[in-house]
Amino acid sequence: MKSWVAIGLFMGAGSVWAMSGWSAKDQLRGFDLSPNELKQVSIQSGWSSDDPQLMMFEVGNRLSGPIYCVGASFEMKDGQKIQHSFDPKVYVPANQKRNASVRGIEKKNLKNFGFTCRCMRQAPQRVCENPYK
C-alpha cells in the first residue's frame, strides 16, 4: 500500500509544493509483548560503582522482530511504587542488546522491578515486525 503526503513550503507571495511518498507495511501498530514473547527478552540489571542511585540495564531481544521498551516500574521495600518512562524509548533490534539506565533507584531500597516493552505488528496475535523493511 502506497501512502502520499503533500508538503507545502511557502515563500513570499508564491508557494512551492513537494510530493513525497513511501511504502509502509499495512497498518502496523504497537502492542505489548505477550507472556511467551517476554520470555525471549532478557533484562540484566546492576548499579554503577560511581553512583549508587544509577541503576543500569542491558535489554536483550531474541525475537525475530525489533522491540521498544517504553518504561520501567519499581516496587520499593517500603511499598512505594515508582514509574519511569524512557525518553527516547529503548529500541532493541532483533537478536541485539541495548543499554538503559534510571537515576534515583537505590539497591538497598528496591524490592522488585519490571519493564514494559512493545513491538510493531498488524494484530496482537501476529509476530513482531520491522516497520522499516
What is the model's pLDDT at position 132?
A: 81
How much of the chain, in percent, has pLDDT values that exceed 90?
A: 75
Contacts of 50 (CB under 8 A, 6+ apart): none
Rounded to the nearest 5°, which phi and psi values hold at 35? Answer: -55, -40
Interatomic CA distance for residues 107 and 46, integer angstroms: 9
Worst-scoring range by mean pLDDT, 12-21, 65-74, 82-91, 110-119?
12-21
- Over residues 12-32, the pLDDT tens digits come to 333 333 444 444 556 899 999
First to last CA, the chain: 14
Burial profile 81-110: b = 16 or more Cβ within 10 angstroms, e = fewer: eeebebeebbebeeeeebebebeebeeeeb
Domains contained in the chain, CATH given: 26-121 (2.60.40)
More confident residue, 92 or 13: 92
